[in-house]
Structure 1
């Protein structure tokens, strides 16, 4: 029996020398130390021996089992160390190499210019007001003297939600709501998205950004309007920019005007951009029509006001020399990162 156990131990030792993986090791461990191994079977057969033989053989079996467990423990440690070294060599991570940079987003030039415009007007004492993108026909048209037969109310020009609601075509709706809810003096700007039923091309978009301003107080006149806008334009584009005002017509202002600035490209000499005039139209403005004031329950005999509005997208295109409005809405980082 003892010789048989010695041979069993020696066979296990010899076979462990050829083991190189954890799977091979586990297979041998079950063979020699598992519940159905020869060693376990010897322990089960001790009941067939006399008491004296059981004591002697049992002690020897435990000695062999202890030696076998030790040799198996040493072997598995060696296998794990070898596998770890192999893994470290194959999965080399050079921590001296620079990491991959995460590309961050970039402000759209519309937002850059909008922030700059808002800062200019805030420094001039204006406050910012906002309103809903979807508004009623009353606030978008009727309150501004744009009545039922006006061409702006055609479905070819305006996105109608239903018979009485539209996507606002300008932020003048905010001016009306402000005059209804606040008493003069009023000095606000109202930036935001507006919507027109225009086909998308290099200079038109069905969605664009607009900024409108409104001042209502006692003794306000056209000189205040011109001074405010000239201050804004020169702060925005530089003191060398020249301005001029041309008479125009808007239903909600009287008198009304359009403001032109000297061409950014030719500096007023005349080129294809300004069509040889030396000037570029940049915004519309005028004195608030008395009917609009009265409709908002502001006494037009006591108070007067001026209003102005311009497209922020157009300001961006002029400021940076961008010729296609579609570039502002494509979210291409190659384009946006230039600003």
Structure 2
């Protein structure tokens, strides 16, 4: 009789056991699935005489609820015990994995890009292995310019016109060749120069360069952008000054100093007592550069800005040795976990 089957099945369910998730799932399928034993009893229930349906139906529902309760309890117990071998990662280290953080160079580069991004500059990138035209010739470097010498540039063996880029200005040349003004780009990237590694110099470092070309762009526009950047990066109290300089691809050219962020202009070892610290180079794009890239210099003008990311990081984080950024010393890098 059906009632006897219910009582027998109830005895089985009260004694169910499982030690893994797989065993728990097998119990669920056996008793609670559409083709399980309890479902088969419900199918038999259809043939029960009407006068017996009330009592047997009640017993069946109690059986199903009890089975669901017991299997759920077993599942929770297995999960809590952690005995399911499928949950164990045997490749995991025996100690907690230490979370890393972004590199200080990455932090500064992102901050610079964010500041100029809010001014409408978009990121442009180019290859690190470049040709002579985009690194030098298109940017008004004379054939006898010192930067072309092997002492400053890494040339590819047996390919005198192929080299590791010495600045990201090569990206600007590529953009100017392919795009007519208005142009408003920021060019972050790694560059290479054949220099002895020391606390103040390295054979590779990172730059961020900007280029803005449009009609009626003036030096006053350049100065205002530089002042805005300095205040955003180093604080609202920061002041700037521009000193005349020379770069082959800009005319007039200038170097920008900021008021010392350590002594605030009073004089210290960082600013060598002057109250000012050099931070970047800039200037109006030389008309010869515009013409070599196919842009009419009579109609358009523009400015260019170039800065070293490590230089900004040195000032921002008071780091006095450039080699620390590439030595992968965990003790140094861990200091930047809480930054940004």
User: Does the alignment reach a TM-score above 0.5?
Assistant: yes
Task: Give structure 1 stretches of 5+ with no counterpart.
Answer: 1-98
How far off its partner does 1:100 sit? 3.2
Q: Is the 8 A contact 1:105 1:333 kept in 2?
A: no
| Residue of 145, 152, 160 corresponding to 1:157 | 152
Tell me whether 1:221 sits opposite 2:218 in the alignment: yes
Tell me whether 1:209 sits opposite 2:206 in the alignment: yes
After superposition, the CA RMSD in angstroms is 1.0
Using structure 2 for the length normalisation, give the TM-score: 0.70
Partner of 1:188: 185
The CA deviation string for residues 156-192 of structure 1, in whole angstroms up to 9 with x for no partner, is 1110112111100000000000001111100000000
- Alignment map for 1:27-176 (pairs within 5 Å): 100-161=95-156, 162-176=159-173
How far off its partner does 1:147 sit? 1.6
The CA deviation string for residues 2-48 of structure 1, in whole angstroms up to 9 with x for no partner, is xxxxxxxxxxxxxxxxxxxxxxxxxxxxxxxxxxxxxxxxxxxxxxx
Paired residue total = 241
Partner of 1:74: none
Q: Is the 8 A contact 1:190 1:212 kept in 2?
A: yes
Partner of 1:46: none
In 1, Cα distance between equivalents of 2:262 and 2:193: 28
Task: Give structure 2 stretches of 5+ with no counterpart.
Answer: 1-93
| Residue of 266, 283, 288 corresponding to 1:286 | 283
How far off its partner does 1:118 sit? 0.9
Q: Is the 8 A contact 1:158 1:167 kept in 2?
A: yes
In 2, Cα distance between equivalents of 1:247 and 1:151: 20
SS in structure 2 of the partner of residue 261 of structure 1: strand
- Alignment map for 1:233-272 (pairs within 5 Å): 233-272=230-269
Q: Is the 8 A contact 1:212 1:308 kept in 2?
A: yes
SS in structure 2 of the partner of residue 337 of structure 1: helix
Partner of 1:325: 322
SS in structure 2 of the partner of residue 338 of structure 1: helix
The CA deviation string for residues 174-230 of structure 1, in whole angstroms up to 9 with x for no partner, is 000000111110000000000011111111110100000000000000011011111
How far off its partner does 1:271 sit? 1.9
The CA deviation string for residues 240-260 of structure 1, in whole angstroms up to 9 with x for no partner, is 111000011111101110000
| Residue of 299, 307, 330 corresponding to 2:304 | 307
Using structure 1 for the length normalisation, give the TM-score: 0.70
How far off its partner does 1:138 sit? 1.0
Moved over 2 A (4+): none
Partner of 2:197: 200
In 2, Cα distance between equivalents of 1:278 and 1:332: 32
In 1, Cα distance between equivalents of 2:328 and 2:269: 29
In 1, Cα distance between equivalents of 2:239 and 2:286: 28
Q: Is the 8 A contact 1:135 1:165 kept in 2?
A: yes
How far off its partner does 1:272 sit? 2.2
Say which one has the larger Rg.
1
In 1, Cα distance between equivalents of 2:128 and 2:301: 27
How far off its partner does 1:293 sit? 0.4
